[in-house]
Structures are given as structure tokens and as C-alpha cells.
Amino acid sequence: MTTRSIPLGPVMLDVEGTHVTDADRRRLIHPLAGGVILFTRNYLSAGQLAGLTEEIHALRNPPLVIAVDHEGGRVQRFRDGFAALPAMRELGWAWDHAQQEARQLAQEVGFVLATELLAHGVDLSLAPVLDIDRGASSVIGDRAFHSDPRVIGELARAVLHGFRQAGMNGVGKHFPGHGHVSADSHHEVPVDERTYEAIEAADLVPFRRLIEAGLGGIMPAHVIYPKVDDRPAGYSTVWLKQVLRGRLGFDGVIFSDDLSMEGARGAGGVTERARAALGAGCDMVLLCNSPQAVDDLLDNLGYAMPAVSLARLARMHGRLLAGGMPRLREDARYARALQAVAALGKREGELPLA
């Protein structure tokens, strides 16, 4: 296979199955492609996944960024051959009993999660979730660490530290906070009627803490906060440029949430949605589970990736682990972390999307 020298583009897309098809390859070498997001359908075994990611990375130089929603609990795309990661709520419960131990456990969870993905050629997990559990959102629920934003900041920072020890960055979601609304943005457009001051005092606390810790990426919510802006956060220059870039000083990658979700449809067709997200301040847009929509977007977007976005995206490549899982299983640090994670609670089910 010949590696093509093509600068990364602003679109993160998916692939159809467990290997790269001709149709996948055509999309992945398109100049607008910049990353790939994997799902459960893309996984059969450790060897197959490693082969898939190797093939994707070999298509281009610089290589496409390969990501996955791999949070633990209900949202863990790869299971057989991977550690059973707990829902992040388990770490919140641990905090309520012993704070320092919970910090250490959170770091170990982050290390196991990241090392296993890196050993299979995956650059990035779209985690951690920084939403506050207010008991209102079933789509967030136990994906959230806690109901206290300060605790979320402490535990998520520890998870990010574990990521970093392994050689992976993190993506905090869903900015500026999805936990206050009951509607699921996969299926409808949630509306959060709170003032900016109320959101700043609570929901922005964990985002600010993680930005201070050097978080590499943030994903905005497909939620409208009408007392701040009448557009969903992912299409809002107020939220992305004025608040996230300006007031919070974030200089990492802003990834849109999936543009095929119902919460994203207000901007029009898929090309209009992508333009709205990129114009509002996103560096990269996600489009999943619709090959025809991806083709339409690649044919019609016509967007040049700014140099600053290219620099930000380059920092999201992971430090892939040579030797894969056989080498990782020989690592004493991994073995200790795995033992600690095994003591935490289990999870059941899986959400269709993150």
C-alpha cells in the first residue's frame, strides 16, 4: 500500500465494517477527511482491530486520527479481550467513601482504558464525560462522575492523568453541559432554560478544571441554551468562540458531536450543518452511520483546514504501543492498574451513540 501525503481535513467519518472497503478507502483519502471514529461493528478481535487501524493509518501521511467512544459502562465499544471498564459513576461512589483512593482509582481506569486502545492502534477516546448528574438525563446518567461539579473536575483530571501516562489525550464532553435536560439529543433537540450565570457556576466548573490541566479536545452539546444563544452550542459562536476560546482560554480541538443526530438538524442539510459548526468555531465535524451523507458532505463542503486547526489536531495522535497486547500484558504498571480496575463495579448494556 502506498502512503499518500495529504494534509488532514476537518471531517471525522466512520467505516462500514471490520476491514477497509474500496468505498471506505475512497472516502478516507479524500482531502476533507481528517479522522475516523470506530464502533462496535468494527470489532471482531484484537488482531482484526489492530489490522484495521494499521491499514487506516497507512493510507495517509500524516495519518488519520482514529477515535472511539470508549468511556466505560454503557459506552464501551470494544469488550471481548478488553478490560470491563466501570461506569464513571463508580468512581463518584468511591469518592464519597475515600477521596484519595478514588483519585488513584480514576487514574488507573484512565491508564487501562488508554493503554488498551493504544495497543490496538486507536489514537483517542472521546472521553471523559464532564456533565453533571442532576438525575434528569437518562442519556447521561451513570456516564457522569458525580452530582458535584468540583468532584467531577477532580476525578476527570485523574482520568486524564492516566490517559497521559499511557500516551493519549482526552476529549471532554458535552460542553457546556448536558446533564440538566431530560431530552436525548440523539432523538430530539434539548433546550436548557438556565441563565449563563447558573451554567457558569456549576456546569463550566469541570470544563475549566480540565482545560487548566491541558485537556486536548472538547465536544459541544447539541443543546440549545436560549438565554445565552438561540443556536445549539455546537453551532454557537457565543459558546465556542466567546466562552470556550475566550473566557476559558481553551486552545485544543473542538469536535462537533455527530451531525446525523436529531439535535443537529436545525441547521439544514448535512453540508449546512458542517458549515455552521465549522463557522461557529469547531475544528472537526463528526458524521456517522450514513455513508450517503458522508459522500454528500465530501462532495460539497469545500473547506480549507486552517493552520491553527491542523496544529491542534496533530496533538491528538496517540503514542501507539509497539508490540500490541502481548507486550502490554507483560507490563507491570498495566497489571497493577488492571487489578485495581477489576475491583470496581460492573456495567450493563451499551448506548447506540455517544
| In-domain check, residue 352 | no
Distance CA(317)–CA(137), nearest Å, equals: 32
| pLDDT at residue 267 in the model | 62
- pTM score of the predicted model: 0.93
| pLDDT at residue 352 in the model | 45
The values of phi and psi at residue 45, to 5°, are -160, 170
Q: Alpha helix (H) ranges present in 204-290?
A: 204-212, 237, 270-280
What is the per-residue pLDDT across 38-64, written as a single tens digit (0 to 9) for each? 999 999 999 999 999 999 999 999 999
Mean pLDDT in residue range 252-277: 84
Average pLDDT, the chain: 92
Least confident of 59-68, 86-95, 97-106, 185-194: 185-194
Mean pLDDT in residue range 76-100: 94
Q: Which of 257, 258, 283, 317 is catalytic?
A: 257
| pLDDT at residue 354 in the model | 39
Q: Give the burial class of 237: count Cβ atoms within 10 A of its Cβ; 0-12 exposed, 13-18 middle, 19 or more buried.
A: middle
| In-domain check, residue 347 | no
Decide if 128 contacts 88 (C-beta within 8 A).
Answer: yes
The answer to whether residue 148 scores a pLDDT higher than 80 is yes
The answer to whether residue 183 scores a pLDDT higher than 80 is no
What is the per-residue pLDDT across 271-316, written as a single tens digit (0 to 9) for each? 999 999 999 999 999 999 999 999 999 999 999 999 999 999 999 9
| In-domain check, residue 349 | no
Closest to 92 (Cα-Cα) out of 107, 102, 104:
102
Distance CA(185)–CA(232), nearest Å, equals: 10
- The residue segments making up the domain with residue 128 are 4-342
Cα Dmax for the chain: 55
The answer to whether residue 185 scores a pLDDT higher than 70 is no
Mean pLDDT in residue range 255-261: 88
Better pLDDT: 83 or 264: 83
| In-domain check, residue 33 | yes
Q: Give the burial class of 239: count Cβ atoms within 10 A of its Cβ; 0-12 exposed, 13-18 middle, 19 or more buried.
A: buried
| pLDDT at residue 348 in the model | 46
Better pLDDT: 237 or 182: 237
| pLDDT at residue 252 in the model | 98
Closest to 228 (Cα-Cα) out of 190, 187, 206, 198:
198
| In-domain check, residue 354 | no
User: Residue 128: left (phi > 0), alpha (psi -120 to 50), or beta?
Assistant: beta
| pLDDT at residue 179 in the model | 85
Mean pLDDT in residue range 6-31: 96
Decide if 12 contacts 313 (C-beta within 8 A).
Answer: no
Tally of domains in the chain: 1
Q: Is 257 a catalytic residue?
A: yes
CA atoms within 13 A on the CB side of 75: 22
Q: Which of 120, 174, 178, 186 is catalytic?
A: 186
Report the number of secondary-structure helices (H) and strands (E) in the chain. 13, 12
| pLDDT at residue 180 in the model | 85
The answer to whether residue 265 scores a pLDDT higher than 90 is no
CATH of the domain at 77: 3.20.20.300
Closest to 180 (Cα-Cα) out of 151, 237, 150, 140:
140
| In-domain check, residue 146 | yes
